A and B are shown apart, each in its own frame.
Chain A
Amino acid sequence: MTTDLRTLLIILAAALATYATRIGGYVMITRMKTIPPRLERALNAVPGAVLATLVAPAFFDGGWDVKAALIVALLVGLRHAGFGLIIAGWGTAVLIRHFA
């Protein structure tokens, strides 16, 4: 009634593809008998390396409101861990968009 079969099948295929990405790396790595130290260092770098790619283009291509928000968030984040950085960065963007 509120969905058609084609859409539903596409969604389920996309869900399967997503699950494959979430388990694929594990399946590949457990096939290896030992993990060379170089590979271990590479895996250790995964969080920083991936997350940086989610931030950098937003900063580079964003307007100066986005740039200012990220810079303020960075400065707050270097001093305090936790939620303050999100509020500070987001608040900066809201203020600029309403008053500048």
Chain B
Amino acid sequence: MNRTDIWQGARTGAVVAFSTLPFGLLFGAVAVDGGVTPLEATIMSATIFGGASQLVGVQLFGHHVPAWLVVLSVFAVNFRHILYSAAMAPHVQDYTLGQRLLAFFFLTDPQFAESVKRSEETGRVSPIWYLSMAFVIYVVWVAGSALGAVFGKLITDPKAIAMDVLLPVYFLGLVLGFRRRANFLPVVAVSAAASILAMHTVGSPWHVSIGAIAGIIVAALLPEPKGTKAES
């Protein structure tokens, strides 16, 4: 039982790691290009473990902005994780304190999305499944950043191989995974519209939190549609 959980978690982690590896490489390359050393880039991946926020961070390093602004920007990009950790509460009830503290460190976008999917499919997100998935993603992410930092100069034109398209396409796939949820269409439509509007008024990265909160408010205001199975 535990062994299948380890194996299934690692397998899901491997699929996620495969699609995030290019970003690990890209992050390492961009970081070194912006004046961060390979060691610092690797430490960033190992301690922050959040791709988009790390990219924002190294860009600010390059502009020599004050330290608090770098930290605040990373916080802003990662702000959406507050929503994830609240939504994870029912799934980690039977975790030990240590498992819980560790699990929240690894709570990235794909980790959250796959965990929610897992609980819908099997009714449970076991700590062993969660952590083996997280471990595979983490190792590949940190190793990929280190490799990208050392060999980054080899990627001369990331646009030509469409690296910038991979992330939105990958997130689109995650969105589609939730399309059978209650009120999926109105929530996603409002989030999308609000994030575009916020992007052009308030600016990035706050468009993520503003858009998400708009969609979540819609979900709270709409009645539960008939025929949706209640989640335990």
Contact = CB atoms under 8 A, between A and B. Distances in A.
B1 interface: no
A73 B169 contact: yes
Contact of A17 (B19, B71, B104, B207): B71
Interface string B51-93: 0010001000100000100111011001111111111110010
B168 A58 contact: yes
B165 A25 contact: no
A45 B232 CA distance: 15
A34 interface: no
Nearest to B187: A45
Contact of B75 (A21, A54, A62, A65): A21
Contact of A55 (B187, B192, B214, B219): B192
A29 to B, nearest CB: 4
B183 A19 contact: no
B211 A52 contact: yes
Interface string B95-138: 00000110011010100110010000000000000000000000
Interface string A55-93: 111111110011001100110011001110110011001
B9 to A, nearest CB: 17
Contacts of A14: 44, 47-48, 53, 57, 70-71, 74-75
A91 to B, nearest CB: 8
A45 B216 contact: yes
Provide the main secondary structure of the chain B interface.
helix
Contacts of A41: 182-183, 219-220, 222, 224
Nearest to B115: A47
Interface of B: 15, 19, 36-40, 43-44, 47-50, 53, 57, 61, 67, 70-72, 74-75, 78-89, 92, 100-101, 104-105, 107, 109, 112-113, 116, 159-162, 164-179, 181-184, 187-188, 190-196, 199, 204, 207-208, 210-220, 222, 224, 231
Interface of A: 2-3, 6-15, 17-30, 37-39, 41-62, 65-66, 69-70, 73-74, 77-78, 81-83, 85-86, 89-90, 93-94, 97-98
21 contacts: A7-B61, A15-B48, A17-B72, A17-B74, A18-B74, A21-B82, A25-B83, A28-B86, A44-B231, A46-B212, A47-B113, A48-B215, A49-B191, A50-B208, A52-B187, A52-B195, A73-B173, A85-B169, A86-B19, A86-B166, A86-B170
